[in-house]
Amino acid sequence: MSDTRPDQLYANPLGEVDRFAFDRAVVEVFPDMIKRSVPGYATIINMIGDLAERYARSNSRCYDLGCSLGAATLAMRHRIRASHCDIVAVDNSPAMIERCRQVLAADTAEPAVELVCEDLQRIRPENASMAVLNFTLQFIPVEERLDTLKHIAEGLLSGGVLILSEKVAFDDPPHNELMIELHHNFKRANGYSDLEIAQKRSALEQVLIPETLSAHRERLRRAGFTSVDVWFQCFNFASLIAIK
Ligand code: GEK
């Protein structure tokens, strides 16, 4: 995915900070924003490709739920070796989907991609060998997360994989604070000012709800996944592999 404009959305003082939304302004800076904000993002995207090579099966589907500009979709598309394995990429932001369509049109890899502008909670995956929720479940209301995961588990073939990446919280308050501070240091090292960090934090306050890794593990098991564990973590960002 080619880089776009630098993220300066929160560079100037905003009297009142609006709730964060995936609108056109965010789309314009999204690749820069996510790279500078999420520790390990590039590694996780690469590994999603790796896992697609291993788990994508012939005559099945791979789902990218909350696809944004299609980074995980492209990683899968370039690494799927199975024949007749299509990708379904879903996002409920029309601005994201519109730009994602352009990104995908410029890519010539073989697997077909169906791009769907829809709330992922309304999607019922079918015949899936792989599903990806890369930093998306955190935007779904907490009480609706179990049903979302159940629908994914129901649509996965036995032995199919879900990659769940999330910003996470920790039970121990001092440790939680330490992880938040280290994350803010990471953002500072990537050129964000204290003002940008503070305003973005308040924009995300009611929108992105992190949970503990144990809450995620337990919910994944309740949803029908048998093998669940963390494969990546840096500070308060983690990615889990869950096998049905
Ligand atoms: C990546 N996975 O680059 N239904 C569908 N999409 C949703 C919903 C919903 N209910 N809620 C939020 N989104 C991507 C990055 S970004 C993560 C994912 C971030 C979408 C939202 O529109 C946005 O595009 C995406 O989930 C979250 O690997 O910005 O922190």
Residue 142, both tokens = 């907490």
Which among 213, 47, 9, 228 has a CA at the least distance from the CA of 134?
Answer: 47
The contacts of residue 165 (CB under 8 Å, 6+ apart) are 44, 133, 134, 135, 232, 237, 238, 239, 240
Mean pLDDT, residues 121-132: 98
Q: Does position 13 have pLDDT exceeding 80, yes or no?
A: no
Q: Determine whether the shortest distance from the Cβ of 97 to ligand 1 is under 6 A.
A: no
pLDDT in tens, 186-234: 999 998 877 777 777 777 788 899 999 999 999 999 999 999 999 999 9
- The pLDDT score that the predictor gives to residue 29 is 87
- Average pLDDT value over all residues in the chain: 93
Q: Does position 1 have pLDDT exceeding 50, yes or no?
A: no
Residue nearest to atom 30 of ligand 1 (CA): 135
Residue nearest to atom 24 of ligand 1 (CA): 68
Ligand 1 midpoint to CA 23 (Å):
11
Mean pLDDT, residues 160-189: 97
β-strands 237-243, 113-117 pairing: unpaired
Mean pLDDT, residues 30-45: 94
Helix (H) or strand (E) holding 32: helix 24-37
Which among 44, 21, 92, 2 has a CA at the least distance from the CA of 231?
Answer: 44
- The pLDDT score that the predictor gives to residue 10 is 65
Q: Determine whether the shortest distance from the Cβ of 71 to ligand 1 is under 6 A.
A: yes
Q: Determine whether the shortest distance from the Cβ of 44 to ligand 1 is under 6 A.
A: no
pLDDT > 70 fraction of the chain, expressed in percent and rounded:
95
Pick the atom of ligand 1 nearest to 48's CA: 28
